[in-house]
């Protein structure tokens, strides 16, 4: 392990499990400055309850093979944080739905995909978690680095959900990776899983966002001002992908570790914001 990873590991505190102050009441389908960004975040939220419970399972499957007490403590933190995220987003998803704004079509398709993943070997299941955790950490870092793009006009209640989640994703970003390295340490599988997860994740989120935009087309597409704003946000999302590509590609390096992407400053900034 290189020096940077070792020094960040020594500095990092134990993973803290917090309860969010978010309340799933009176939610509006548009909760950021643009309808596109709101639908994009809601599409991400749709995947969280089932996805994050799957992550927890994939780690529990092999937890008994971990001897390192520090990693065992991190696993406890990881499970606590992800379980709270799944609960909070489940409430969010239920509250934001309405008769003309439905997530259920994709929930069913996503559930089928989750069932398929569970038929794979423990190694492949955990490699999928590792790849997806890299995505969530990249996205969380981007949210904290560019809050004016991702979180413009977010209410304090919504900040309690989205900022809290972003901070904790960065705090536990190394856990699935370290468990995978301790138990399987298989580079070819890690790379393979990242390739397939990338295709599935990008296509899935794009389709869901497009579907939500279409369901909300009266507000999202038919109002010239909103449409112009959404085109700008769409270009911003493309720019996000370009800006994140070095972090994404780093994952394929043989000596990659999540701590090599130093997000400590962002973490401090994010923690201060959720304590405001
Ligand atoms: Fe999470
Ligand atoms: Fe996570």
pLDDT the model gives residue 1: 56
Q: Could you tell me if 141 and 261 are in contact, meaning their C-beta atoms sit under 8 angstroms apart? A: yes
Q: Output the CA 140–ligand 1 centroid distance in Å.
A: 10
DSSP 96-117: H-BTTB--HHHHHHHHHHHHHH
> Digits of tens for pLDDT over the chain (276 positions)?
567 777 766 666 789 999 999 999 989 999 999 999 999 999 999 999 999 999 999 999 999 999 999 999 999 999 999 999 999 999 999 999 888 888 877 888 888 889 999 999 999 999 999 999 999 999 999 999 999 999 999 999 999 999 999 999 999 999 999 999 999 999 999 999 999 999 999 999 999 999 999 999 999 999 999 999 999 999 999 999 999 999 999 999 999 999 999 999 999 999 988 876
d(CA 232, CA 35): 12
What is the rounded CA–CA span in Å between residue 98 and residue 222? 20
Phi first, then psi: give them for residue 13, nearest 5 degrees: -85, 170
Distance 224 CA to ligand 2 centre (A): 37
Please state, in angstroms and rounded to a whole number, the distance separating the CA atoms of residues 244 and 236.
Answer: 12
Name the closest ligand to CA 89.
Answer: 1
Cα–Cα distance between 19 and 91 in angstroms, integer? Answer: 14
What's the CA dihedral at 203, 48, 248, 41 to 10 degrees? 70
Rg, Å, the chain Cα set:
18
| pLDDT on residue 247 | 98
Cα 70 to chain centroid distance, Å, stands at 24
Tokens 């209640």 map to which residue?
Answer: 157
Q: 79 CA distance to ligand 1 centroid (A)?
A: 9
Beta-carbon count within 10 A of 74 CB: 23
Would you state the pLDDT for residue 197?
96
At 171 the pLDDT is 96
- Please report the pLDDT score of residue 10 as a whole number: 65
- Chain centroid to CA 162: how far? 10
Cα(83)–Cα(29) distance, integer angstroms: 24
From residue 180, alpha-carbon distances to 7, 25, 63, 111, 223 in Å are 21, 38, 10, 24, 48
Residue 227 Cα to ligand 2 middle (Å)? 33
Q: What does the pLDDT read at residue 106?
A: 80
DSSP string across 189-253: HHHHHHHHHHHHHHHHHHHHHHHHHHHTHHHHTSSHHHHHHHHHHHHHHHHHHHHHHHHHHHTTS
Compute, in angstroms, the gap from residue 268 CA to the centroid of ligand 1: 18
Please count the other Cβ atoms lying within 10 Å of the Cβ belonging to residue 69: 8
The number of the ligand nearest the C-alpha atom of 58 reads 2
DSSP 8-state class, residue 66: -
CA 82 to ligand 1 center in whole angstroms: 5
Q: Compute the distance from residue 229 Cα to the ligand 1 centre, in Å.
A: 29
Going from the Cα of 48 to the center of ligand 2, the distance in angstroms, rounded, reads 9
Using the mean position of ligand 1's atoms as its centre, give its distance from the Cα of residue 129 in Å: 11
CA 142 to centroid of ligand 2, rounded, Å = 15
């Amino acid at each position: 392990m290189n020096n940077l990873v070792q020094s960040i590991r020594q500095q990092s505190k134990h993973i803290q499990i917090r309860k969010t102050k978010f309340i799933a009441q009176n939610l509006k389908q548009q909760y950021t400055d643009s309808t596109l960004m709101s639908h994009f975040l809601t599409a991400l939220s749709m995947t969280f309850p089932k996805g994050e419970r799957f992550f927890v399972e994939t780690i529990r499957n092999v937890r008994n093979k971990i001897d390192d007490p520090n990693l065992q403590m991190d696993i406890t933190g990881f499970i606590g944080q992800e379980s709270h995220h799944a609960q909070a987003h489940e409430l969010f998803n239920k509250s934001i739905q309405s008769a003309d704004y439905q997530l259920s079509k994709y929930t069913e398709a996503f559930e089928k995909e989750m069932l398929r993943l569970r038929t794979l070997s423990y190694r492949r299941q955990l490699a999928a978690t590792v790849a997806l955790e890299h995505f969530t950490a990249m996205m969380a870092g981007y949210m904290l680095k560019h809050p004016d793009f991702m979180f413009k006009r977010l209410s304090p209640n919504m900040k309690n959900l989205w900022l809290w989640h972003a901070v904790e994703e960065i705090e536990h970003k190394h856990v699935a990776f370290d468990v995978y390295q301790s138990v399987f340490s298989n580079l070819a599988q890690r790379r393979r899983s990242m390739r397939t997860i990338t295709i599935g994740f990008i296509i899935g989120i794009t389709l869901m966002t497009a579907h939500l935009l279409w369901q909300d087309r009266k507000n999202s597409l038919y109002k010239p001002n909103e449409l112009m704003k959404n085109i700008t946000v769409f270009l911003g999302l493309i720019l996000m992908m370009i800006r994140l590509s070095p972090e994404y590609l780093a994952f394929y390096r043989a000596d990659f570790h999540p701590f090599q992407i130093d997000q400590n400053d962002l973490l401090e900034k994010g923690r201060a914001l959720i304590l405001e």
